[in-house]
Structure 1
Amino acid sequence: MDSPVKPPPPLYAPGTGQWSSSLCGCLSDISSCCCTLWFPCVTFGRNAEILDKGTSSCAASGAVYLVLCMFTGCECVFTSIYRAKLRHEYALPARPCNDFLVHLFCECCALCQEYRELKYRGLDPALGWHGNLRKHAEGVVMPVKPPVVIEEMKR
């Protein structure tokens, strides 16, 4: 018998309403900040795959980011859409300013903050959507033996 698959935690967590870290809170996660500094397309791709719930891949989203960056220099328009999506999912405030301006002036910090937020919510962007599904499915414990059936009372 197939065991039921436990999905990852829902993206929307009602009642949260606050960012788990500040925009400039990179000291709490140096590795993702270094990755974002040198390869922002990777961090964006990872975040986008999670926010799209696996309908887009990290590679595809990262490639779109890279093309926009190289040919238009306006990747912040694209990335700010995903920040808005994240904020909507978790009912987060538009701080310190609207999503477009945050990505326009603080692109790397914004991507890092979004990455940390997903990790805080129990989703590891480095694993991808399907990796998170597997991780959360491993948490399902199935009984080894069938349950004990209690016989009817006898007089």
Structure 2
Amino acid sequence: MGTWSNGLCGCFNNCMLCLTAYFAPCYVVGKNAEAVGESMPAASIAYLLFPPVGIFLAAKTREKIRQQKGIEGSFGGDCLVHLFCPLCALIQDAQEIQPQAQAQSMARE
């Protein structure tokens, strides 16, 4: 089984992402959801307007990232991380899928 490429407290490995998550967490939630094939607007709006649903959707996104990367964990753990340390979890999720997202955007150019 794999591990996360960045730790949960590795927020400052990408300062721009850290600032984006701090000032616009619903945007980061949406981009993370989009990267794993989910609806960006639905995830963003739910995270902003319906926090329990937003946490659930962010945890489902984290679960998909873990499954794609072969990272150990459970959905319950994903929910707890997004409940008690949401910004760190969003950033960790985004850093895990970022190389994949950058490769896709480069392929389009």
| Pair in the same fold by TM > 0.5 | yes
CA distance in 2, matches of 1:137, 1:34: 26
Which one has the largest radius of gyration? 1
Task: Pick one of 12, 15, 24 that aligns with 1:30.
Answer: 15
1:1-155 matches, cutoff 5 A: 17-52=2-37, 56=39, 58-69=40-51, 73=52, 75-94=54-73, 98-120=77-99, 122-124=100-102, 132=104, 135-138=106-109
The offset of 1:64, in angstroms, is 2.3
Consecutive unaligned residues in structure 2, runs of 5 or more: none
Q: TM-score, normalised by structure 2?
A: 0.84
Equivalences, count: 108
Measured in 2, the distance between the counterparts of 1:90 and 1:83 equals 11
Identity %: 31
TM-score where L is the length of structure 1 = 0.61
Give the Cα separation in 2 of the matches to 1:64 and 1:27.
26
Counterpart amino acid of 1:82? T
| One-letter identity of the residue aligned with 1:63 | I
CA RMSD, Structure 1 to Structure 2 (Å): 2.3
Shift of 1:34: 1.0
Counterparts of 2:24 and 2:63 in 1: how far apart (Å)?
Answer: 22
Unaligned runs of 5+ in 1: 1-15, 125-130, 139-155
Paired amino acid for 1:22 = G
